[in-house]
Amino acid sequence: MFDPGLFNYWIIMILMMTGLYTVIVKGNLIKKVIGLGIFQVSVIMFFVSMGKVRGGTAPIASESFEVYSNPVPHVLMLTAIVVAVATLAFALALIVRIKEAYDTIEEDEIRELEAGEEG
């Protein structure tokens, strides 16, 4: 059952779930955002892992190397990192505004305040 060739992917999936758990369970908005970050970075690791070729080197053409790792996942992940940081910046700005408006960044306290408004 244990396959060393898959070890990489298993750990990555576990890291991914660590991030997802933080997002679901933690009520603190900053914690949630950190969790999202871990989730996204793990997906990036997944892509980068699949680009690796045994005995290969970084995909910059030169005379001295024959085998290169696959550059395509790297390109895709550059874009994904950018998307992640863009989302993060906007989320943090939202959190600052929420703090100003509710005086808290804890989800359950916000929910109580909102329930009070409706009732």
What residues between 47 and 76 interact with other proteins by CB under 8 A? 47-62, 67-76
- Least Å distance, CB 31 to other proteins, is 6
SS3 29: helix
Q: 28 has which bridge partners?
A: 106
- Least Å distance, CB 106 to other proteins, is 5
- Least Å distance, CB 47 to other proteins, is 5
Rounded Cα gap, residues 23 and 27, in angstroms: 8
| Footprint (CB under 8 A) of other proteins, residues 28-47 | 28-41, 43-47
Whole-Å CA distances, 97 to 29, 71, 83, 101, 114: 12, 40, 21, 6, 16
- Residue with token string 């995909």: 59
| Footprint (CB under 8 A) of other proteins, residues 89-118 | 89-103, 105-106, 108-110, 114, 117-118
